[in-house]
Amino acid sequence: LLIGGPLPAQLPAATAWADMALPDVPAGLPSDVLLSRPDVRQAEQQLIAANANIGAARAAFFPTISLTGSFGTASTSLNGLFDHSAWSFIPQVTLPLFDAGRTRNNLRVSEGQRDIATAQYEKAVQGAFRDVADALAGRATLVDQLASQQAETDAEAERFKLSNLLYTNGVASSLDQLDAQRSLFVSQQALVQVKLALLQNRIAVYRALGGGWTDV
């Protein structure tokens, strides 16, 4: 046996698809949730070490938008950041990024180190928004695929039901019945694959958001 021993008397029950469902992605999810991503937090700590004003850094490089639209897919604002497959956010700087008044600390941190910390922060923020945009785009595609595949599976189920009825009444052959059954099984397997891909995508969205959205 693959388990290396006898099977236990009581095996755990199989988990239904409904029990494996993850929470739906909410509408109007604020971009502030991305501040909990490890890469963004690390980049902010590097800016702090370089004596940066984090409020000014966020104003300069972190778009304050809703990530999701009314159906939990990417919002217009999020898609607008990548209209031409490139970052199009225009910084709105209202405060100096580095406090020139901290003369002692300024002597300890070179201008080059500040430039590096700033560039790394900008890169981390852009990467965070790109990850979310890609994951939500994949979700929208999979939701459409699920609806299409479910409709096909329902149609194949009706076809098999009719074929079985015709066979029972001697109108159709067993070959017709088996062909309808095979088509139903193929469609059901495809439906399972789409559902699995949707679950995997939900995990990707959860990861891109820095750990989820349940506390938002």
Which CATH number belongs to the domain containing residue 57 in this structure?
A: 1.20.1600.10
- 7 part of a folded domain: no
| Residue 114 CA from chain centroid, whole number | 32
Q: Which residues of 141-168 are buried (b: 16+ CB within 10 A; e: fewer)?
A: ebbebeeebeebbeebeebbeebeeebe
Give DSSP secondary structure letters for 167-179: HHTTSS-HHHHHH
- 82 part of a folded domain: yes
User: Is 116 in a helix, a strand, or coil?
Assistant: helix
- 188 part of a folded domain: yes
CB 97 within 8 A of CB 60: yes
- 116 part of a folded domain: yes
The number of distinct structural domains making up the chain is: 1
194 — phi, psi (to 5°)?
Answer: -65, -40
Would you give per-residue pLDDT tens digits along the chain (216 residues)? Answer: 455 666 666 766 666 656 666 678 889 999 999 999 999 999 999 998 888 888 888 888 899 999 999 888 899 999 999 877 778 777 665 556 676 555 445 545 577 788 889 999 999 999 999 999 999 999 999 999 999 999 999 999 999 999 999 988 888 899 999 999 999 999 999 999 999 999 999 999 999 999 877 655
Find the domain containing 147 and state its range. Answer: 23-208
- 16 part of a folded domain: no
- 187 part of a folded domain: yes
